[in-house]
Amino acid sequence: MPELPEVETIKRSLEPQIVGCRITQITASTSRLRWTLSESDRTAVVTQQIVSLVRRAKYLVFSLSQGDLVAHLGMSGYLALQATPLVKPHVHLSLYLDCNQVLSYCDPRRFGGWQWVPGGVHNTPMFEQLGPEPLSDQLDVEQLLQRMSRSQQAIKIWLMNQANLVGVGNIYANEALFATKIHPETPASMLSRAVVVQLIKNLQIILLQAIETGGTSLKDFQSTDGQLGYFSQKLQVYNREGLPCYHCHSKIVRWQLGQRSTFACMTCQNERSC
């Protein structure tokens, strides 16, 4: 699933090319997505201008003249911006722009989708329930500590809960915990203040590095120009089951935690309390 760095990469690629453009036509497949624009939604959006593009959590918010068009890429979705519509299987939506570009949405697994919110997203339950942005200057570590102190959840599951901290998925939760030498199953409430501060710092460093390298491309992810992300070359534990740890040479192990594949070095991350 595209996480914060991948969605931010897409946002930065699209923003200078489409802001100010007007939507002239929308075509959609008949396949069901997580969210689907109805015919009336598409009619409402056509002729509107893209005023701004922002990322919130793992969502892309296209602010239009009279509302917000929200996209979530799901597990396998990606966007392509080119002079002609993308001709590929699983293209479910195409936005034609008056700047002679077509923004196409391709999603093989169909867990993503698009939603039209005429009144804007920021007062909707979907966005009100989201936690803070990990890269925001306003991130309050003390507030995170308070939330952690009340939780017996495994820290990896806690990190991936979008009500606690947004944009962090399986890849970057695994990587941040390894960088901080925390066992993924450690209860969140057992982490000391110093360890939490270091964890957040490491998470921010990793997210910024991933953005700088265009995100992580393992299966489906690519930027809007078809470029792959290269942070996969920097992964320390994720998707490295059975390979030697770069630090101690023990084998990286994999198991299921919260129904998600979890990767760790049991030598570097052998303590369940910090």
Identified catalytic residue from 2, 5, 134, 184: 2
* Closest to 42 measured CA to CA, from 61, 64, 21, 27: 27
**Residue ranges with strand state E in the chain:** 23-28, 50-56, 59-64, 67-72, 78-82, 91-97, 101-106, 113-117, 252-257, 260-265
Exposed/middle/buried for 242, CB within 10 Å: 0-12, 13-18, 19+?
A: exposed
- The CA distance from 198 to 182, in Å, is 11
Identified catalytic residue from 11, 12, 201, 260: 260
- The CA distance from 147 to 130, in Å, is 14
The question of whether 3 is a catalytic residue gets the answer yes
Strand partners, 263: 254
The question of whether 2 is a catalytic residue gets the answer yes
CA distances from 194 to 86, 142, 190, 224 (A): 49, 11, 12, 39
Identified catalytic residue from 42, 58, 156, 240: 58
- The CA distance from 202 to 24, in Å, is 44
The question of whether 240 is a catalytic residue gets the answer no
Name 166's Cβ contacts closer than 8 Å, sequence gap at least 6.
4, 56, 57, 58, 130, 131, 132, 133, 134
CA distances from 251 to 77, 243, 271 (A): 32, 5, 17
The question of whether 219 is a catalytic residue gets the answer no
- The CA distance from 73 to 110, in Å, is 9
DSSP string, 68-85: EEEEE-TTT-EEEEESS-
**Active centre residues (catalytic):** 2-3, 58, 260
